Structure 1
Amino acid sequence: MSNKSNYLKSPDLLPVPYNRKTIGKLGFAFIWVGMAVVLAAFAIGGAGVQNLSLFWVILATVIGSILIGLCMTIIGDIGIEHGLSFPVYMRAPFGTIGTHIPSLIRGFAASCWFGINTYFGSTAMNGILNILFDFDNWLICYIIFALVQLINTALGIKAIERFADLAAPVIIIISVWMYTTLSDKALEEGHHIWSWVEHPVTGGAAVTAFIIVIMSNMGFWSTLAADMPSISRFIKAPKYERNWFKRNQASIIGNIVALTITQTFMVVIGAVSYIALQNYDPVFALQQSADGLILGILLLMIVLAQWSTNTSANVVPAATIFSNVGGPKFPFWAGVFTAGIIGTMVQPWSLFNIIIPALLICGGILSAIVGILFADYYLLRKRRVNVYDLYNDHGQYRYFKGFNLAGFIAWTIGGTAASLLINYSFVVGFVVGAICYYFLAKYWWFQKYKQAEIEDPDDEKYLGITVGRDWIIDEEPIEASDVVTVSTNANKGVNI
């Protein structure tokens, strides 16, 4: 057989073995603090307090953050259990070729977020240089800041974790100072932060406004909910642990606890900024509330926050996806710089003003994928995966010319339903996508294309860390007629 099948075996996409899982509970929580300090989250708070009091904005944010964090943890088990990334597992519900289509949409969205966050960081960097050296050119700052982030990400996950360990405490301290300053500014303007609302709404309009805040928070992280496995495959977890909650303990602490606390705080700062200044642009808010050295320190927080967010939440997932599409000759570092180029070409400085409707639309489209992943991994395969065939161009996941039509039909229906009910986008997309995929796959597609782990749900053959197994994928091409030999000794791992 030709080397054509090797395109599924890019070294950066092979399962992560137990000894390469380097992120612990505290490390993942710190990564989340860094990721969740996203200045675009200020827009959710600023938009929310135009119709609701701060209390209701906070409650909606907590609900939305917990729900999306739970989705991340559920989907993240794919990485914890099997060491698989998002684009690799997507070969199961979408096919070995079909995976590229939804994956590229996720990669494009991540690249856009990289550009938006880099733009915020570059304006803050420009502000610092203006204070120190009277320098004023945000575009040069953008280019420099983008290159520094991309190089940091290209160095690998350990470099990202080390940076998060450094940035997270600094970000927390400065964020508290920023909140206090803006609160005082609001009181000076005669606006009590807990009762002030620009355009109060009641009745059904209040319920709609409340739900929009929930869905905006969920849509904000819908991209990461889909491809959490790309990060979770590096999270430490105990071998032979069959209790789902114990196995995913680090994920729960990061995805639900750290995310909810940090996201809520960022939304509150955005809300208070709008109450005080009628503007939730963080750079504008800081320039109005501080000056001199204090302003420089606060702007530095913005730079650190965007850097920490971009590396983990945007560049790593996008680079992993682009590497999957490009194959072995397109390594992870090339995917990193591709994400940077795309994120710049979309002119992110023009995107911030449309961010709330974009979040709802993006959340709806990607929530259907999250629902499909849930149905495929938990309801149909029951967490058992024929991992070898994910890297076999002629294996069970090839389906019809590399496409799983059940996945695409379910995605189309779920995404359309979410777009029609935009205020409930994430929930609608998730539920409709999951239900459609379950019935289409179980009673149609998998009747035509049998799945080994469904036909024979053997733990020793198809589970990963739960039975102490590392999935070992040979780098030689796989023949369609090859026999898969599975070692019964889970400690030793398995080979093709």
Structure 2
Amino acid sequence: MKTQVEEDGIVTLTEEGIREIHESPLYNEGLRPTTKQEHTWTAYNFASLWIGMAICLPTYSLAAGLISLGMNWWQAIGTIILGNLIVLIPILLNAHAGTKYGIPYPVYARLWFGEKGAHIPSLARGIVGAGWFGINCWFGGAAIDTLLVAMSAWENVPGHLMIAFIGFWILNIWIAYRGPEAIRKMEFWAAPTLIVMALALLVWAFTSAGGWGPMLSAPSKFTSAGDFFKVFFPALTGAIAFWSTLALNIPDFCRYAKSQKAQIVGQTSSLPTTMGFFSFIGVAVASATLVVYGEAIWDPAAILAKFSPFVIFLGTLGIILATLTTNVAANVVAPARAIENLWPRKLTFGMGAIITGLVALLMQPWYLLENFGNYIFLWLGTYGALLGPIDGIAIADYWLVRKQRIDLVELYRPNGMYSYSSGVNKKAVWALLIGIAVPFGCKAIGITSVWDNAWTIGLLISLLCYTWFMRNNPSVISESHYSRITSTDTQSSFAS
């Protein structure tokens, strides 16, 4: 019996397949496989998604933080670009599964952890997403507060900073509540607007400083290669961890891709280039402020506060747009889907978005941003060590263990093929624990070289362990099984 059909590399359910899972407790409208008609995202949609997410205040400040640790401008930007090229690999590998089978991240996680065990990786990703949601709301709220102070007597309002933060938090929740399609439409128009505003900021920096300014010619503070690498490797891990979250839940977006080619071209052309470009703008603008104002100002809101009210107004809109496009796309979809997956028949994506916002408040983003050490070493470094092993398991399962063959119906069948033992794949749990334990254990005994590369090392350890543990597992379907359930089109999976 054919329960799924593959056409141009996209697998969707047949009418028989839909009937089999429609009443399942693991099924709802947000978690079901996408239909052929819903695969509409082009390369431009994915490029605009990443441009909208990468042009944000945390990106702007990332290079600044690396320079404050002693790097010169090209070392800082080179570290960021290299980190993004590295994390692009798992992003594309996991995106393939989302594109081919049209499943969101929590359902994808059922494949490797089981129907109940999937809550482990989906909630882990969700908690990190909620943390980032709070951080971006705090960035945006603080920027709006600064600009309102510059334009009025806003500073006389009691608790003005917290009011701006809560107001911006509510705006983020409202947009996220409307769902992924609203996010796609917002990103479509936001991307070109943000590029124009970023270029305008760069032109101002160049013309005002009479060139790039002294900061671009400032030497590195490191006196030896050893001193440099002590900072470089944890900084590289931080740059990788910056988007390691999306490396996991990229299926949430790529399930709508028109083709594999569309998501590959769109993501490869936009992520590393936008991150490098906007980081450079941050360095160049700070260089200009050193020349013009006598101090290096890294906060874009503080820079805009020095301009005319009209420019301040435009800058406020730009900051709101930049933060919104990052927050609702990168930091709400994953936790909202994870919450929805806890009780598919009762919880909706919108309810998940609201709960995500509440969890973000509990994580106190103002503390995480209190100093750069908290930001890159406590926040980015720690969650990179936690998410790297999950990335390794996901890649191993789809590419090395199952060789891209999935039975979609079984992902929604309670006590089915992918339920494992009582709904949990203990082999995945062990692979995850080993991948996490090694870097944290090395940190505890002072082997800093392992901890400084925790995301990469954890990924490789869990990938190898999981592949070994899952050899000859009965949940792995053969080519003949795949052929029995799939009506296959012979056209290329990379059709445009």
Tell me, in whole angstroms, the C-alpha distance in 1 between the residues paired with 2:396 and 2:180: 29
Query: Judging changes above 3 Å, is the alpha-carbon distance between structure 1 residues 104 and 53 closer, same or farther for their aligned structure 2 residues?
Result: same
Aligned residue identity for 2:364: Q
Structure 1 gaps, min length 5: 238-247, 470-496
Could you say which residue in structure 1 is the equivalent of 2:143?
A: 124
Alignment of 1:446-465 (within 5 A): 446=473, 450-454=474-478, 456=480, 458-459=482-483, 461=485
Matched, 1:207 2:229: yes
TM-score, normalised to structure 1's length?
A: 0.84
1:66: Cα distance to partner? 1.5
Describe the shift of the 1:201–1:146 C-alpha distance in structure 2 as closer, same or farther (beyond 3 A): same
CA distance in 2, matches of 1:454, 1:334: 39
Residues 83, 468 of structure 1: alpha-carbon distance in 2 compared, 3 angstrom cutoff = farther
Q: Is the 8 A contact 1:131 1:296 kept in 2?
A: no
Q: Distance in 2 between matches of 1:48 and 1:185?
A: 24
In the other structure, the counterpart of 1:431 is 460
Code of the aligned partner of 1:405: K
Paired residue for 1:250, among 253, 262, 271?
Answer: 262
Residue 468 of structure 1, CA deviation: 10
Q: Which residue of 1 aligns with 2:424?
A: 403
Letter in 2 for 1:72: I
Question: Which residue does the alignment assign to 2:91?
Answer: 72
Structure 2 Cα separation of the partners of residues 117 and 465 of structure 1:
44
Residues 111 and 339 of structure 1 are in contact (CA less than 8 Å); yes or no, is this contact kept in structure 2? yes
Deviation at 1:208, TM superposition (A): 3.6
Q: Matches of 2:489 and 2:37 in 1, distance apart? A: 12
CA separation in 2, counterparts of 1:329 and 1:152? 21
> Would you say 1:115 and 2:131 are equivalent positions?
no
1:321-372 alpha-carbon deviations (Å, 9 max, x no partner): 1101132100111001111111122221221221101112211211111110
1:356 aligns with 2:368: no
Equivalent-residue separation in structure 1 for 2:490 and 2:73 (angstroms):
44
Residue 240 of structure 1 corresponds to: none
1:226 Cα deviation after fit: 0.8
Q: 1:373 corresponds to which residue?
A: 394
Shift of 1:317: 1.4
Q: Would you say 1:414 and 2:435 are equivalent positions?
A: yes
1:342 corresponds in structure 2 to: 359
Match of residue 177, structure 2, among 154, 164, 167: 154
Identity of aligned residues (%): 27
Is residue 147–residue 302 contact of structure 2 (8 Å, CA) maintained in 1? no
1:186–1:192 Cα contact (<8 Å) kept? no
| Larger deviation, residues 389-398 vs 144-153 | 144-153
- Separation in structure 2 between the aligned mates of residue 464 and residue 115 of structure 1, nearest angstrom: 45
CA–CA distance in 2 between the matches of 1:225 and 1:167?
Answer: 22
What amino acid maps onto 2:37 in structure 1? N
Q: In the alignment, is residue 219 of structure 1 matched against residue 241 of structure 2?
A: yes
The 10-residue stretch of structure 1 (414-423 or 296-305) with the greater mean CA deviation from structure 2: 414-423
Contact 2:72 2:221 in 1 (8 A): no
Indicate which of 164, 184, 193 corresponds to 2:187.
164
1:193-239 Cα distance to aligned partner (Å, 9 max, x none): 332146334212223433333322111001110111111111211xx
Change (3 A) 1:459 1:125: farther
Aligned CA RMSD, in angstroms, stands at 2.6
The superposition leaves residues 75-134 of structure 1 with CA deviations (integer Å, 9 ceiling, x where unpaired) of 011110000111111112111111112211110110111111111112222344444553
- Checking the alignment, whether the CA contact within 8 Å between 1:183 and 1:193 is kept in structure 2 is no
5-14 or 329-338, which moves further after superposition? Answer: 5-14
Change (3 A) 1:290 1:71: farther
Q: Distance in 1 between matches of 2:98 and 2:273?
A: 24
Give the match for residue 13 of structure 2.
Answer: none
Distance apart, 1:60 and its partner CA? 2.0
Deviations 1:293-331 (A, max 9, x none): 223322321111110011111111111111011321001
The equivalent of 1:244 in structure 2 is: none
Distance 1:382 1:467, change over 3 A: farther
Q: Distance in 2 between matches of 1:464 and 1:360?
A: 44
Report matched runs for 1:14-413 at 5 Å.
14-50=32-68, 51-136=70-155, 137-182=160-205, 192-197=214-219, 199-237=221-259, 248-272=260-284, 276=290, 277-278=295-296, 280-287=298-305, 290-352=307-369, 353=371, 354-357=374-377, 358-413=379-434
Cα pair 1:226 1:367 within 8 Å, conserved = no
TM-score by length of 2: 0.84
Q: Give the conservation status (yes or no) of the 8 Å contact 1:375–1:438.
A: yes
Residue 135 of structure 1: how far off its partner (Å): 2.9
SS at match of 1:8: coil
Aligned equivalents of 1:107 and 1:343: distance in 2? 10
Aligned length: 449
Deviation at 1:150, TM superposition (A): 1.9
Amino acid in the other structure paired with 2:271? L
Q: Distance in 2 between matches of 1:329 and 1:168?
A: 35
C-alpha distance 77-465 of structure 1, shift in aligned 2 (>3 A): farther
Between the aligned partners of 2:97 and 2:336, the Cα distance in structure 1 is 19
